[in-house]
């Protein structure tokens, strides 16, 4: 199962890197002669360094945790892939109108496909970041509510010091 987990992380990483490379290439195509492959290799190196923490996760997680992560993550990636192009339509129109107005001063041609790709890739990246935060919060809340957790919050007095058991002698008040 851990091999499948690492395989999923690699597939998802390549997808994320290719989407990031497409966004970078679409943003830079008018200003430089950078190829998509150059953007891909640079973002792959950044992504690799950023995801080195998954090596520790694989060592410490159980098979069930890995399977649950793969299931949730695949649903989130699928929903991001489906909803990003839909959500990017109106911002793309706004960016194309803005770039068409700026074309007089910048002398740069507005390509609707590059603009749509850029906005769609940025929408996908923002959706993935939002969903990753939700997933982290959900995992954190599940960890704190696990039955064997000794640090489980106990209602109103969370963070307070537990009271010592009271014996009949400790209830007496002695006035001096």
Q: How many domains does the chain fold into? A: 1
**Residue 120 within a domain:** yes
What are 135-158's pLDDT values in tens digits? 778 777 776 665 554 444 445 444
pTM recorded for the entire structure: 0.66
Give the span between the Cα atoms of 91 and 116, in whole angstroms: 9
Query: In which residue are the tokens 């939700």 written?
Result: 134
Find the mean pLDDT for residues 101-121.
84
C-beta separation of 94 from 110 below 8 A = no
With a cut of 60, say whether residue 65 has pLDDT above it: yes
Is residue 146 included in any domain, yes or no?
no
Q: What is the pLDDT of residue 149?
A: 45
Q: How many CA atoms, within 13 angstroms, populate the side-chain half-sphere of residue 106?
A: 11
| 150 in a structural domain | no
Assess whether pLDDT exceeds 60 at residue 31: yes
Check residue 150 and give its pLDDT: 43
């Amino acid at each position: 199962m851990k091999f499948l987990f690492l395989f999923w992380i690699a597939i998802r990483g390549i997808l994320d890197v290719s989407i990031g490379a497409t966004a970078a290439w679409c943003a830079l195509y008018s200003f430089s002669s950078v190829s998509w492959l150059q953007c891909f290799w640079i973002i792959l190196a950044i992504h690799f360094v950023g995801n080195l923490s998954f090596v520790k996760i694989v060592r410490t997680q159980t098979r069930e945790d890995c399977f649950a992560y793969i299931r949730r993550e695949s649903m989130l990636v699928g929903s991001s892939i489906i909803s990003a192009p839909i959500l990017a339509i109106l911002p793309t129109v706004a960016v194309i109108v803005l770039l068409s107005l700026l074309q007089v001063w910048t002398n740069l041609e507005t390509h609707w496909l590059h603009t749509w790709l850029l906005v769609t890739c940025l929408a996908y990246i923002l959706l993935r970041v939002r969903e990753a935060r939700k997933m982290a919060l959900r995992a954190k809340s599940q960890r704190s509510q696990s039955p064997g957790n000794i640090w489980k919050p106990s209602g109103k007095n969370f963070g307070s010091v537990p009271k010592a058991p009271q014996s009949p002698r400790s209830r007496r008040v002695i006035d001096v």
